[in-house]
Structure 1
Amino acid sequence: MNIIKKTGRIEEFQTSKIRQSLLSASQEATEPLSDAELKLIEKEINNILSKLNKTETSSYEVFAICLNVLKELGFKAICKSYLEGSISF
């Protein structure tokens, strides 16, 4: 799947970038994520992206999916930190 960045550039989707963003948000929220929690979050995000059945999506849509997954899985402080860290998004 390709991601359309806010600049209009197109990149291949990389779970590692989301993982790094989640780790940063969890550190900011002072709620470190375990490897198992990260894998669960990544799995949910990838499941949703797969269900969209698209070859291309926007970084904004991926961002919204990440926020929703964090909220649904009960990582509210990390969700808030993830949102605040991406305000310039």
Structure 2
Amino acid sequence: MKVIKRDGRIQEFDIGKIQVTLENVSDEISKPLTASDIKKLLTSIEKAVYSRNQEEIRSSEIFEIVIEKLEKAGFHDIAAAYKKGKD
């Protein structure tokens, strides 16, 4: 799957980039995620991205999926910090 970045560039979807970002954000607010939490979140995010059955997805759509999955899993503080980092 291809990701359309905000500046129009196109890249391959890489769940590893989301993992690094989530780890960094959670560490920055002193609420580190466990390996198990990260695995569950990444699986859920990846499933949501691919379930759209599209060849391309906008990075903003992925951003919304990540926020939704963090909120749904109860990681409200991390979701807020993730949103703030995007501003």
Which TM-score tier does this pair reach, normalised by the shorter chain? over 0.9
Amino acid of the structure 2 residue aligned with 1:40: K
Secondary structure at the counterpart of residue 3 of structure 1: strand
Amino acid of the structure 2 residue aligned with 1:38: I
- Could you tell me how far apart the structure 2 residues matched to 1:66 and 1:32 are? 16
Q: Corresponding residue for 1:47? A: 47
Which of structure 1's runs of 4+ aligned residues deviate more than 2 A? none
TM-score (norm 2): 0.97
Deviations 1:29-80 (A, max 9, x none): 2100111110000000011112101110000000000000000000000001
Q: Corresponding residue for 2:20? A: 20
- Show structure 2 runs of 5+ residues with no match: none
Amino acid of the structure 1 residue aligned with 2:50: S
Q: Corresponding residue for 1:78? A: 78
Secondary structure at the counterpart of residue 57 of structure 2: strand
Secondary structure at the counterpart of residue 17 of structure 1: helix
Identity in percent: 33
RMSD over aligned CA atoms reads 0.7
Count of aligned positions: 87
TM-score (norm 1): 0.94
Q: Corresponding residue for 1:59? A: 59
- Show structure 1 runs of 5+ residues with no match: none
